[in-house]
Amino acid sequence: MPKNQSHLIVRRLIINRIQPIYVLLLAVLLLAACASTAPTAVDGTLIVVSTVSPITNIIYNVGGDHINLTGIVPEGVNSHTFEPAPSDAIKLAQADLIFVNGLSLEEPTVKLAEANKKDGAEIIALGEQTITPDEYMYDFSFPKEAGSPNPHLWPNPIYALRYAEIIRDNLIRRDSANADYYNHNYDAFKVRIEALDRAIQDTINSIPEQNRRLLTYHDSFAYFAPRYGMTVIGAIQPSDFAEPSAKDVANLITQIKEEKVPAIFGSEVFPSPILEQIAKESGAKYVSDLRDDDLPGAPGEARHSYLGLMVEDLRIMAEALGGDPSLIADFDVSNVPGTDHQVIQPQ
């Protein structure tokens, strides 16, 4: 065998033996990188994983610093279409409790959780334990024929309080040693929610009755509006999350003109140039910063809370619809256990 050829064979043998080592090393490094962002238990602390930020924050208001809490869905992202990353599988695999909204809101995340949860871990759907099927709401964004109801229960504070109750009961069931702490936080949160409920009603009452109507891009207020005497007259985004057709846009413009709707509300999560066109042609004011699952401020700030989300939305609604936003402006929106700087929540 020629000398050059023998060197080539040896070189190939060396490469073939080393290559699997590099592959294994790369896999270990990738796993370590993913694990570095995953929750870890300290002294038996419950590891809790959630999905959208309002639910994560409600959990924090009950569990406080007695749980290790991680949110999966980044703020400002469409939770309906969000696809979790491989690193999220590790977070879900380490969790003791996984709280989801349910009602088909976050299906890809639920499927990933079901495939990766450890023995003894539980997935707890809050929506299905809060309302019954005869209370489900269907609309343009969530038509009944599509099979899934509107899942946005938390803009109704009373439903958010029910979420907190379910969360409290499950934390106590899994961590009875801290039952007094969870009960104390829940009771304090309940007082704040009941005060918020009254402040919202007072603010809505300040809006002229003929203006207590909501036309939004994505219908996140189907369970909010009936409680406070408001009417959702439509949603612009179709059920497939695409832009509305030209016919739909024309019909909406006609409806806004006929009903003299003073403002239409966009969303930071669903930016759409269609809204500006509708507002311009209908004469309605376009308000672009209403939100349903993007908490105001940044993690660690006092207003980064479910309470802050609701107060900010009411301020925006009242200002656009002719009400008095000052009625709710000074509401205490801070979290019951203090700032949420310890919660792992992607932005």
In 10 A of CB 288, how many CB atoms?
A: 16
For the chain, give the mean pLDDT.
87
β-bridge pairing 285-290 and 231-235: unpaired
Structurally, how many domains does the chain consist of?
3
Residue 88's closest CA among 111, 112, 106?
A: 112
Indicate whether 213 and 283 sit together in one domain.
Answer: yes
The domain containing residue 16 runs over which residues? 1-36
Asked whether residue 343 is domain-assigned, the answer is no
What pLDDT is recorded for position 21?
38
- What does the block give as tokens for 171? 């934390």
Asked whether residue 99 is domain-assigned, the answer is yes
- The residue with greater pLDDT, 107 or 8, is 107
Asked whether residue 232 is domain-assigned, the answer is yes
- What does the block give as tokens for 345? 């929540």
Indicate whether 158 and 205 sit together in one domain.
Answer: no
Indicate whether 161 and 202 sit together in one domain.
Answer: no
Q: Tell whether the model's pLDDT for residue 18 goes beyond 60.
A: no
- Summarize pLDDT for 106-122 with one digit per residue, the tens: 999 999 999 999 999 99
Indicate whether 154 and 98 sit together in one domain.
Answer: yes
> Please, which residues bridge with residue 122 across strands?
97
What pLDDT is recorded for position 146?
86
Indicate whether 57 and 14 sit together in one domain.
Answer: no
Asked whether residue 186 is domain-assigned, the answer is no
- Summarize pLDDT for 197-216 with one digit per residue, the tens: 999 999 999 999 999 999 88
Asked whether residue 339 is domain-assigned, the answer is no
Asked whether residue 284 is domain-assigned, the answer is yes
What pLDDT is recorded for position 41?
55
Indicate whether 20 and 64 sit together in one domain.
Answer: no
Q: 12: pLDDT confidence band, cut at 50, 70 and 90?
A: very low
Q: CB within 8 A of 295, min separation 6: which ones?
A: 53, 54, 57, 75, 304, 305, 306, 308, 309
Q: CB within 8 A of 119, min separation 6: which ones?
A: none
Give percent of the chain with pLDDT exceeding 70: 85
Asked whether residue 16 is domain-assigned, the answer is yes
CATH for 304: 3.40.50.1980
Indicate whether 108 and 215 sit together in one domain.
Answer: no
What pLDDT is recorded for position 35?
42
Indicate whether 2 and 123 sit together in one domain.
Answer: no
Q: 238: pLDDT confidence band, cut at 50, 70 and 90?
A: low
